[in-house]
Amino acid sequence: MTGVRILVGTRKGAFTLTSDGTRDEWKVDGPHFGGWEIYHLNGSPADPDRLYASQSSGWFGQLIQRSDDGGRTWSAVGNDFTYAGEVGEHLWYDGTPRPWEFKRIWHLEPSRDDPDTVYAGAEDAALYVTRDGGQKWQELTALRRHPTGPGWQPGAGGMCLHTIILDPVHPDRIYLAISAAGAFRSDDAGASWLPINKGLRSGEIPDEDSEVGHCVHHITQHPSRPDTLFMQKHWDVMRSDDAGANWREVSGNLPSDFGFPIAVHPHEPETIYVVPIKSDSEHYPPEGKLRVYRSRTGGDEWEPLVDGLPQANCYVNVLRDAMAVDTLDPAGIYFGTTGGQVYRSADGGDTWAPIVRDLPAVLSVEAQVLP
Amino acid sequence: MIRVILPAHLKNLAKVSGEVRLEVPAPTAAGPVTQRLVLDALESRFPVLVGTIRERDTGRRRALVRFYACEEDLSNAPPDEPLPERVAAGAEPFIILGAMAGG
């Protein structure tokens, strides 16, 4: 029977959650790398047993781990994330220039076709690629050397490259997002980059038409409609129908247009999910009610999904990489919270239940369908 | 033979238990054994530890890693300073620790 594996990165280790296609009963394995921050854990679409994990610690730095058996065993692979050539400078919080300084990998995006090819997004923002299963990493330097680079400034969580989308139709097209520089697109496999932030409105920036400086939290794309993108920004939920060239706000009737994750239904490209939270400083659900909001119209009109979610005294957050969908029918939706709960819906969001309640704070969630 | 004690997380990474024993070649027969030589030998035997004790780009000790030996804190000793004779003779271990810090 077809199964599902959920890959969970937390503040204190990695966990895998597995179930059959009913998604009723779950087996929880972990922690792997107990005590380490696992910013992201992701699997190869071409080989579901090939997993990669980004492991970091304030004491001992960061490593990349790889599993070839679906997460049962792991081995550290290459970890040399050198900024190629002249390091250069970006802006610091106080407006002064500061050299790029590698801190950790936030996001790992394996190729759709090749288990040995993986893209990695770093803090301070840079894009790396490996083509040998993680042994050697090469920086795609055109991004960091973009003419706007010296003007990039970190967001509150650092200057992190947190979103990487490999376009399923255009093999050389890559989207990415950086806090707080904005969104970028490459049409030549990373050899050059175009800021795609037109239409974003960020009140904190004096020039609202600024090419960069926007705090993009996450971007998602449906494989059958690759030119349509959805974005959760620091404030505002946004939509583009021209591969990011222009954006328009689709926050509509959301109770708060602030949040971190955004996901699209695997079979319905106009059905999207967000988790609104209150303001940019409180970072918890409005009224202490944890609600996923779903739009079936590609934005503007939103409905709260509450069945099975705590509707009182809930003050957790859901981080940018902590929501995922599986490709079964009916679709499964998953998210993890900073309170350590991982929730699942096996009916497209209508009803929810916790898979596990007491993990460390969840940093990332990915879903795999197993043969 | 130099004895090195790793913190638990680095033992897991290196897939070792207990002390690590290293042959540390000195630059000359009479040359001193230094912190740098010990760490070079450790990283050479366990490449997974490169970057976890010393910063990969600068070679400096990571801020929250400490070095102790013979009841002395050697964390801020120059890396090319001779280690205590009892460490060089293998009578006492060179201890690598994660500093006490929140989290």
pLDDT tens across A94-131, in order? 999 999 999 999 999 999 999 999 999 999 999 999 99
What are the structure tokens assigned to A284, written together?
């918890």
Angle A292-A293-A294 from CA coordinates, rounded to 5°: 120
Minimal Cα distance from B64: which residue of A?
A59
CA-nearest of A287, A197, A195, A186 to A234 is A197
Instruction: Give this complex's ipTM.
Output: 0.92
Quote the CA–CA distance of B26 and B63 in Å, as a whole number: 27
Residue B31 has a pLDDT of 81
Q: Strand, coil or helix: what is B87?
A: helix
Say yes or no to pLDDT of A174 above 90.
Answer: yes
Per-residue pLDDT, averaged over A335-346, amounts to 98
Per-residue pLDDT, averaged over A218-223, amounts to 97
Per-residue pLDDT, averaged over A359-367, amounts to 98
Q: Which residue has the higher pLDDT, B24 or A44?
A: A44
pLDDT tens across A68-79, in order? 999 999 999 999
Per-residue pLDDT, averaged over A144-173, amounts to 95
Instruction: Say if A58 is an interface residue toward chain B (CB within 8 Å).
Output: yes
**Chain A contact set for B52 (CB, 8 A):** 60-61, 63
Of B9, B101, B103, the CB nearest to A60: B9
Q: State the nearest Cα–Cα gap between A81 and chain B, in angstroms.
A: 9
**What's A6-26 look like in SS3?**
EEEEECCEEEEEEEECCCCCC
Cis ω for the linkage preceding B47 (within 30 of 0): no
Instruction: Say if A137 is an interface residue toward chain B (CB within 8 Å).
Output: no
Residue A1 has a pLDDT of 59
The DSSP secondary structure of A164-219, one letter per residue, reads EEE-SSSTT-EEEEEETTEEEEESSTTSS-EE--TT---TTSSSTT-SS---EEEE
CB contact under 8 A, B13 and A35: no
**Chain A contact set for B75 (CB, 8 A):** none
Which residues lie across from A300 on neighbouring strands? none
Cis ω for the linkage preceding B78 (within 30 of 0): no
Percent of chain A with pLDDT over 90: 94
| Average pLDDT over all residues of chain A | 96
Q: Is the pTM of this model over 0.90?
A: yes
**Chain B contact set for A79 (CB, 8 A):** 50-51, 56
Number of Cα atoms under 13 Å in the Cβ half of residue A359: 36
Residue A3 has a pLDDT of 95
Residue B57 has a pLDDT of 86
CB contact under 8 A, B56 and A59: no
**Chain B contact set for A104 (CB, 8 A):** none
Say yes or no to pLDDT of A22 above 90.
Answer: yes
**Chain B contact set for A102 (CB, 8 A):** 57
pLDDT tens across A235-259, in order? 999 999 999 999 999 999 999 999 9
CB contact under 8 A, A59 and B64: yes
Per-residue pLDDT, averaged over A197-220, amounts to 88
pLDDT tens across A263-315, in order? 999 999 999 999 999 987 899 999 999 999 999 999 999 999 999 999 999 99
Given a contact cutoff of 8 angstroms between Cβ atoms, the answer to whether B88 and B82 are in contact is: yes
Instruction: Say if A36 is an interface residue toward chain B (CB within 8 Å).
Output: yes
Say yes or no to pLDDT of A135 above 90.
Answer: yes
pLDDT band at A90 (very low <50, low <70, confident <90, very high): very high
pLDDT tens across B33-44, in order? 999 999 999 999
What are the structure tokens assigned to A343, written together?
């929730």
Residue A206 has a pLDDT of 73
Residue B52 has a pLDDT of 97
What are the structure tokens assigned to A364, written together?
């990332």
Say yes or no to pLDDT of B6 above 80.
Answer: yes
Of B9, B51, B99, the CB nearest to A79: B51
Say yes or no to pLDDT of B69 above 70.
Answer: yes
Which residues lie across from A182 on neighbouring strands? A178
Residue B102 has a pLDDT of 61
Lowest mean pLDDT among A20-29, A176-185, A202-211, B66-75: A202-211
CB contact under 8 A, A61 and B55: yes
Q: Which residue has the higher pLDDT, B101 or A315?
A: A315
What are the structure tokens assigned to A217, written together?
């939290």
Of B7, B51, B101, the CB nearest to A61: B51
Q: State the nearest Cα–Cα gap between A323 and chain B, in angstroms.
A: 25
Residue A203 has a pLDDT of 76
